[in-house]
A and B are shown apart, each in its own frame.
Chain A
Amino acid sequence: GNSVTQMEGPVTLSEEAFLTINCTYTATGYPSLFWYVQYPGEGLQLLLKATKADDKGSNKGFEATYRKETTSFHLEKGSVQVSDSAVYFCALDPSGYSTLTFGKGTMLLVSP
């Protein structure tokens, strides 16, 4: 079946540090890959996506590259801010019907 594995959190960083949150997946075929973010007190929202191998999704300084050979979609940001503190979810869409399989989420805490 389809599954997503994320690194466990919380990830604790100081402001301006480099961020990596690892994500690997198992799926048949060629799924689309996503990162969703849940800020405190808010609903889940799409952060970035990639729909085919070697695509790079980017938004708000965050990037992730669809690596088919390693079945990975790691999230990176060069310099985190306190406002980036949130829970980050990696997800895949195996069918093209927007029926997502999510990882367990990784909490990021950024201190000043």
Chain B
Amino acid sequence: GIQVEQSPPDLILQEGANSTLRCNFSDSVNNLQWFHQNPWGQLINLFYIPSGTKQNGRLSATTVATERYSLLYISSSQTTDSGVYFCAVDRGSTLGRLYFGRGTQLTVWP
């Protein structure tokens, strides 16, 4: 399978700060998604971004497929941003085989 490494594993911020989360992957992919797992365990899809840049409010993501990494930017963080952020990839050769990283645990303090 594809190896997915996320960094940092843990991140603690004060409300209002900006942050960048990184996802490195070991093979070429044509499917990359970012997810947020809130403190109640719910998993929400943030971005489907196999390449390029997308923005959604205070969140944006960039994937440089040729260099095998993706970045998730959180600006003006809020306490509701707390939770675990997962990156998941698939090379597309086998349907449905998304490989998840171990996540970045983000804690935002008021």
Q: Indicate, yes or no, whether A interacts with B.
A: no
Interface residues of chain A, those whose CB is within 8 Å of chain B, are none
